[in-house]
Amino acid sequence: MSTINLPLNLTVRVHPVVLFQIVDAYERRNADSERVIGTLLGSVDKGTVEVTNCFCLPHKEHTDQVEAELGYASDLYELNQRVNASENIVGWWASGHEVTNHSSVIHEYYARECMNPVHLTLDTSLTGARMGIKAYVCVPLGIPGGKSGCMFTPINVEVTSYEPEIVGLQLCMKTIGMQPNPNRSSTVSPMLDLEQVTDASHKLLALLADVLAYVEDVLNGKQQPENTVGRALLDLIHSVPNMTGDQFAQMFNSNVKDLLMVVTLSQLIKTQLQLNEKLTSLTSFLN
């Protein structure tokens, strides 16, 4: 199992797929359930907890106790280990914007599964018109020889993502503001490779225009220079390979040719599969 030290400057990095899974579990909850809980999976490295996956834990909360299907959680974790052995239990999650009276009881279970688990809450009720994310660690309290307890202390939490997740998020953002229309499909399809290149080129031109406007304002004395921005621009210039326009055009055209070849081969394979499917259906019909 994972081990986590207990510094209060611990940082929790949550991937978007975890947030989507929590929201999906909340939408699919039973009608008599006020909140849903589950297990956080990920890794720990140098004071950073990276949460890359999760699953829901069926449970029922009563006034004085909590019932949870711990056998289900154990079996699901073992199955996940067969698929991705690098994902360990790092804590647990719950829907809602606050820590409840039952949270300490649930936390005791996860304290047996991993060292110093983190607790993540996702405000699915949209309090304040936003889906707030909070993370906690449980700090023990008490006096020697007396009563002891624990206190959930907030820690830093941020959303991070891999490059494939960014592509998916950008695709999801295109659905924002779409109005239901029975005459038009409500789905959004990924752009073709050449369209992605065109879109990326337009975004790059817009960013270059912003950089040029900033540099011109600094040179004309309209804006105070920032040392951090200057160093970043210098690193950016040094990272650009030293080549002529003809060399760049040749390199770009070569990459475009490779991309077109891949697109053509994929279309040929798709056509061949469709033809094979139709021939198989025709043969089955004749027989």
- The predicted-structure confidence for 149-161, as pLDDT tens digits, reads as follows 778 899 999 999 9
The DSSP secondary structure of 42-105, one letter per residue, reads: EEEETTEEEEEEEEEE-EEE-SS-EEE-HHHHHHHHHHHHHH-TT-EEEEEEEESSS--TTHHH
Give the mean pLDDT of 5-25. Answer: 84
Asked if pLDDT for residue 105 goes beyond 60, the answer is yes
- Number of Cβ within 10 Å of residue 43's Cβ equals 14
Query: What distance in Å separates the CA atoms of residue 87 and residue 84, rounded to the nearest whole number?
Result: 6
Q: What is the pLDDT of residue 5?
A: 45
Domain 11-163, CATH number (from 3.40.140.10, 3.80.10.10, 3.90.245.10, 3.40.50.12280)? 3.40.140.10
Read off the pLDDT of residues 229-245 as tens digits, 9 standing for 90 and up: 889 988 888 887 888 88
Q: Per-residue b/e over 145-156, b at no fewer than 16 CB within 10 Å?
A: eeeeebebeebe
Q: Bigger pLDDT: 101 or 17?
A: 17
Phi then psi for residue 92, to 5 deg, are -145, 160
Say what the pTM is: 0.67
Asked if pLDDT for residue 178 goes beyond 70, the answer is no
Asked if pLDDT for residue 221 goes beyond 80, the answer is yes
Query: What distance in Å separates the CA atoms of residue 25 and residue 219, rounded to the nearest whole number?
Result: 54
Q: What is the mean pLDDT of the chain?
A: 85
Question: Three-state SS for 142?
Answer: strand
Query: Residue 90, by phi and psi: left (phi above 0), alpha (psi -120 to 50) or beta?
Result: alpha
Give the mean pLDDT of 8-17. Answer: 88
Helix or strand run (H / E) with residue 243: none
Give the mean pLDDT of 41-67. Answer: 89
Q: Bigger pLDDT: 70 or 127?
A: 70
Q: What is the pLDDT of residue 173?
A: 77
